[in-house]
Amino acid sequence: MKLLITLLFLIFSITTFGQQIKSPKNLDEEDKVRYTTDSLRGHYIPKDLDDAINSLNKIYSDSLKVEITKLAEKDYVYGNYRFGIGLWMRNNWQLWGGSRLSKFFRDNKIGHPESMSVVILESYYRFLKNEDIRFDEQIKEYVEWEEKAKADELERERKELKEKKKKFAELKIGDVLEFNYDYEFASKSQENKWMEDTCLAKGILIEKDSENLKINVKVIESCDRKGIVIYNTDNIMILNEDTKKWTRPKKRIVKYLKKGKTAWFEIDDWDLE
């Protein structure tokens, strides 16, 4: 069964992923028609779920359709929604970027692109098996899942804040702390010293901000002449005020803090010695 699912993914990948995605020459012009046009970047965009099912039916060969019907619904959907055809739909039907199909789903309370992919694949499987699509049931399941996911996230954040406050309360002015290198190492030498436990970057706690749960630390040992890396833009996204889109910084920025210097940190950046 696992082999069959893998083969479906490979066959689809070979026949479809070889097609190049056309980049738009003018994003502003594309955005003006994004939610109404029937095509984006050279790909037809289905207008609703029925149209998406019909489009999938044209993509799959008859032999693949037969193989799909041999699978259980769960095996077909969860074997393909994250990669394969699921990834192809999200990219080419602009479920992330926005399209008339993503608008259809959002209007029906299904907001996450991967969830849209799941619903389409579930529906297509039921179509092949001549079963009722049960779209209202899918919407209800998604809304319940989303509500649970939000509740779980709030509970996770509550527990994290509780642990953060506990750690903050345990820290005392004058405590010697060890740096966690959450951003990166200043050099390979610094990394080797940390791995070999021959030199650990340390600081002394000189001030606490109870309102924001931040700590002011003076570096007393950096294990590298550059100091410790306290910021870089590798995982940073910046909101472009003109386009209202999140983009990566054009230039990589790395900030260091040398021995003897001080800075404010999140408490997770340091641990008690």
Q: What is the pLDDT of residues 13-53, one digit of tens each?
A: 434 444 444 455 566 778 889 999 999 988 999 999 999 99
Bridge-partner residues for 202, per DSSP?
Answer: 178, 221
Summary mean pLDDT of the chain? 88
Band (pLDDT 50/70/90 cuts) for residue 237 is confident
- The mean pLDDT value for 48-59 works out to 97
236-260 as b/e: b if 16+ CB within 10 A: eeeeeeeeeeeeeeeeeeeebbebe
pLDDT digits (tens, 9 = 90+) for 177-222: 999 999 899 999 999 999 999 999 999 999 999 999 999 999 999 9
> Which of the two residues, 261 and 233, has the higher pLDDT score?
261
Q: Dihedral of CA 174/175/181/183: which sign?
A: negative
pLDDT at 245: 67
Inter-residue contact 8 to 64 (CB < 8 Å): yes
pLDDT at 7: 44
- The mean pLDDT value for 215-233 works out to 96
pLDDT at 19: 47
Structure tokens at 227: 């100091």
Spell out where the chain has E strands.
Answer: 39-40, 43-44, 176-179, 202-209, 214-221, 228-232, 238-240, 245-247, 254-257, 262-266, 270-272
pLDDT at 234: 83
pLDDT at 27: 67
pLDDT at 156: 96
Inter-residue contact 35 to 95 (CB < 8 Å): no
- The percentage of the chain sitting over the pLDDT mark of 90, rounded to a whole number, equals 74
Distance of alpha carbon 116 from alpha carbon 119, whole angstroms = 5
- The mean pLDDT value for 3-9 works out to 46
Band (pLDDT 50/70/90 cuts) for residue 102 is very high
User: Is the model's pTM score more than 0.75?
Assistant: no
270 pLDDT exceeds 60?
yes
Band (pLDDT 50/70/90 cuts) for residue 238 is confident
Three-state SS sequence of 140-169 = HHHHHHHHHHHHHHHHHHHHHHHHHHHHHH
pLDDT at 268: 94
pLDDT at 24: 54
pLDDT at 11: 45
pLDDT at 18: 45
- The mean pLDDT value for 113-119 works out to 94
Distance of alpha carbon 259 from alpha carbon 226, whole angstroms = 9
